Amino acid sequence: MVQVRAGAYDCDVLVVGGGIVGLSTAYAITRAAPGKRVTVLEKEPGPARHQTGRNSGVIHSGIYYRPGSLKARYAVRGAAEMVKFCAEYGIAHAVTGKLIVATEREELPRLHALVQRGRENGIPVRELGPAQIGEYEPEVRGLAAIHVGTTGVCDFVGVTRQLARASGAEIRYGARVVRVDRRPERGVAVLTASGDVVRARVLVNCAGLYCDEVARLTGDEPEVRIVPFRGEYYELARPELVRGLVYPVPDPAFPFLGVHLTRGIDGGVHIGPNAVPALAREGYGWGVVRPRELAGTVAWPGSWAIARRHWRYGAGELHRSVSKGAFLRAVRRLLPAAEAGDLVRAPAGVRAQAVLRDGTLVDDFLIREGARAVHVLNAPSPAATASLPIGREVGRRVLEMLAAAG
């Protein structure tokens, strides 16, 4: 059993997780309090190996999110800060704008609602008719669209590496946390799989796909479970068909944006993702199954509630997963020129979706505090976009906790 000994700290703050949120938090703490010692533990051999490094690289504008929500506030602020950060450090990025396109008449009211939401969030939005869509994207077809000028793309892995360098934190890779001993009057001691013990005054849990498990290791009950959803992508063999970013009108009943087209900083065009249940927290394909993790997902009552509530939507997503033809039909709603040969399989990602016991999909950032611990329990898209303000918010809570602990 690892134990905390008073006065024997290896660092002031111990961050678990080396993705963009964890390293943004380390960066924010060392910037706000230069004398504080920060250590980051990451189980992989390098940073940004999971959610951060396996997304479409979009700097989100914040148009989708409920006004006043953390997602709306952090995305709008974070998008501008991310562009500035990339420019300051020479990280590849571009402010491209994007189209959100309605292809069916029943989508038009939802498109108009997005216009209003964007304006409430302070985002410049231009409404387009069918002919104007072609001015931006000649191969895209739709009944109407909106153009969002503040959306962009960047290299989030490059951002994460720069945060690691600029933070001045001690970063230990290959350090998987297996046990936590927390003493509210003293601090925390963490044991890694290699047998190392790290003692800190405060622990920050930014463990992404495993954040609920790390919370329980500290003795805090997160009251949510991470249910992993895999997002599968294709690469467009003819990238010249798409100039920028093209999205469908999202269904507000489900927290995924649907299959979209994203020209990345490398000039390639990603198509996707869908959203299917993953059989492991790092289940990047149907062949990756971890029985313990799958059993934990199945045992959570919220998983069954999701299945009952969204089975029809889920069936469509599963069909697109196993049928390239079904995926192509979803793509051709936006891009009629796409052909089967244009879709080339690309690496998948897994989203760490926090789910309540009643099956509610947590739709906003969820940050909770325990004794000597701050837990980031839900960091959905736009977490990468919003990582700088999220890091400051978590850092603020940590520094207040340190001050209170004396």
Please report, for the domain that includes residue 371, its CATH number.
3.50.50.60
Residue type, 54: R
In this structure, is residue 390 part of a structural domain?
A: yes
In this structure, is residue 353 part of a structural domain?
A: no
> For 290-305, what is the mean pLDDT?
97
pLDDT tens by residue, 74-126 = 999 999 999 999 999 999 999 999 999 999 999 999 999 999 999 999 999 99
In this structure, is residue 215 part of a structural domain?
A: yes
Contact (CB, 8 A) for 397 and 374: yes
Interatomic CA distance for residues 35 and 171, integer angstroms:
17
In this structure, is residue 28 part of a structural domain?
A: yes
pLDDT above 70 for 345: yes
Q: How many domains does the chain have?
A: 1
CA 328 to chain centre: 25
> For 247-266, what is the mean pLDDT?
86
Interatomic CA distance for residues 307 and 329, integer angstroms:
24
In this structure, is residue 18 part of a structural domain?
A: yes
In this structure, is residue 169 part of a structural domain?
A: yes
> For 314-340, what is the mean pLDDT?
95
Got the DSSP string for 22-47?
HHHHHHHHHHH-TT--EEEEESSSSS
290 three-state secondary structure: coil
DSSP-assigned beta bridge partners for residue 246 = 99, 261
- The pLDDT of residue 258 is 82
Q: Which helix (H) or strand (E) is 215 found in, with range? A: helix 211-218
In this structure, is residue 326 part of a structural domain?
A: no
Q: Which helix (H) or strand (E) is 46 found in, with range? A: none
pLDDT tens by residue, 374-387 = 999 999 899 999 99
Domain that holds residue 383: 11-51+158-224+363-405
Look-up of token digits 């995926």: 327
> For 255-279, what is the mean pLDDT?
91
pLDDT above 60 for 25: yes
DSSP-assigned beta bridge partners for residue 205 = 16, 375
In this structure, is residue 190 part of a structural domain?
A: yes
**For residue 388, which of 104, 78, 35, 33 has the smallest C-alpha distance?**
78
pLDDT above 60 for 355: yes
Average pLDDT in the chain? 95
pLDDT tens by residue, 114-165 = 999 999 999 999 999 999 999 999 999 999 999 999 999 999 999 999 999 9
pTM: 0.95
Q: Could you tell me the pLDDT band of residue 319, with boundaries at 50, 70 and 90?
A: very high
Q: Could you tell me the pLDDT band of residue 256, with boundaries at 50, 70 and 90?
A: confident
Give the number of residues written for the chain.
Answer: 406
- The pLDDT of residue 8 is 86
- In the chain, the percentage of residues whose pLDDT exceeds 70 is 98
> For 46-54, what is the mean pLDDT?
96
- Do you find a cis peptide bond into 301, omega within 30 degrees of 0? no
- Do you find a cis peptide bond into 273, omega within 30 degrees of 0? yes
Strands 38-42 and 170-173: parallel
